[in-house]
Amino acid sequence: MQATLNAPNNVLERADVLTEAELDGLPVGMIQLDRSGTVLKFNQTESSLARMDKSEALGRSFFDEVAPCTKVQEFYGKFVEGVENRNLHTVFPYQFRFRDGRQKNVVISMFYSGSTETVWVLVQRPDA
C-alpha cells in the first residue's frame, strides 16, 4: 500500500472495496462522506492528523461539526457541485485550521463514487 502515496487517484477509485484495516493502514487520511456530508468512514491516519478519535467523527456532519474550516467555496462548494452532478474528481491545496489553533497545509483529493454514491476525501501532506 505504500505506493499509494504516489497514486492517490488509484486509492480513491478503489476505496469502496478497501477493508477498514486497509483504510487504516494507508499513509494518507481517508474520509468517506455521504451525499449530505455525513462522515461514514474516517481512517486512523486522518484520526491522528486531525487529533480526533474516529468515534467523534463517524455519523457527524463533516462540514459543520468535524471540520468546519472546510465549509468554504473552495472545499464545500466543490463537494456540493460534485454531489449534484454525481461527478467529482478534483485535487487542490488546502490549509486546515484546527480548533486548537494549529494550521496544516495539505493536498485534498475528492472523488465521487457512483457505485456507493458517496464522496471520498483523501488528505495528503505535501511533505509526505
Q: Which parts of the chain sit beneath pLDDT 70?
A: 1-9, 127-128
Q: Using an 8 Å Cβ cutoff, are 41 and 115 in contact?
A: no
pLDDT per residue over 53-64, tens digit each?
A: 999 999 999 999
The residue segments making up the domain with residue 63 are 2-124
Q: Rounded CA gap, 111 and 18, in Å?
A: 15
DSSP letters spanning 16-75: GG--HHHHHHSSSEEEEE-TT-BEEEE-HHHHHHHT--HHHHTTSBIIIII-GGG-SIII
CATH value at residue 89: 3.30.450.20
Residues 6+ apart with CB under 8 A from 114: 86
Residue 1 DSSP symbol: -
Average pLDDT, the chain: 89
Give how many domains the chain has, as a whole number: 1
In this prediction, residue 114 carries a pLDDT of 94
Beta bridge partners of 39: 33
